[in-house]
């Protein structure tokens, strides 16, 4: 197996983020954690991943502070995986990926769910990037500046 290149020390924040998140399996694990999955067996059942791959991904997410383990809520000897504040910070990224797919997927009618506001059961508005004064921004309205 080829060792993955680390971008941990890369000056680009996108590369660093990808290093922390890992790969698509990690994002799917995080998605399931947001949906309330907490147990190894439930992640395995939901994702259909091989146990050894799931073990490696969960361990990496815990080591990176995205997930934490805690005693099982039902008092069993198992451990639950829970999102940390760092992990919960990934929510807008998952929403952005979802909304991108809903807009550009070749078969959006095959998408089985719609993200809704839990209280009002209304669809969530598309994420919008704005300047500090609230003006909507497109890519051509932004640039990189030295820190």
- Predicted pLDDT of residue 65: 96
| C-alpha to C-alpha distance for 30 and 83, rounded to whole angstroms | 8
Helices assigned H by DSSP within 35-76 = 40-47, 51-63
Rounded distance, CA 50 to CA 53, Å?
Answer: 5
Give the pTM. Answer: 0.88
Residues forming a β-bridge with 79: 71
**Separation between Cα atoms, residue 42 and residue 51, nearest integer Å:** 11
Angle, CA 146 vertex, CA 140 and CA 147 arms, to 5°: 120
CA distance 80 to 20: 21
- Could you report the per-residue pLDDT of 51-90, keeping only the tens digit for each? 999 999 999 999 999 999 999 988 888 999 999 999 999 9
């Amino acid at each position: 197996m080829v060792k993955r290149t680390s971008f941990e020390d890369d000056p680009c924040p996108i590369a660093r983020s990808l290093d922390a998140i890992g790969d698509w399996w990690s994002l799917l694990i995080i998605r399931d954690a947001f949906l309330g999955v907490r147990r190894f067996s439930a992640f395995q059942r939901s994702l259909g991943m091989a146990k050894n791959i799931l073990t490696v991904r969960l361990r990496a997410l815990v080591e990176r502070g995205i997930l934490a383990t805690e005693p099982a809520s039902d008092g069993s000897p198992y451990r639950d995986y829970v999102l940390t504040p760092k992990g919960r910070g990934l929510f807008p990224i998952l929403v952005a990926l979802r909304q991108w797919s809903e807009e550009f997927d070749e078969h959006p009618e095959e998408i089985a769910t719609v993200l809704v506001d839990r209280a009002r059961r209304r669809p969530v508005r598309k994420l919008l990037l704005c300047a500090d004064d609230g003006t909507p921004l497109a890519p051509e309205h932004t640039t990189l500046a030295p820190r």
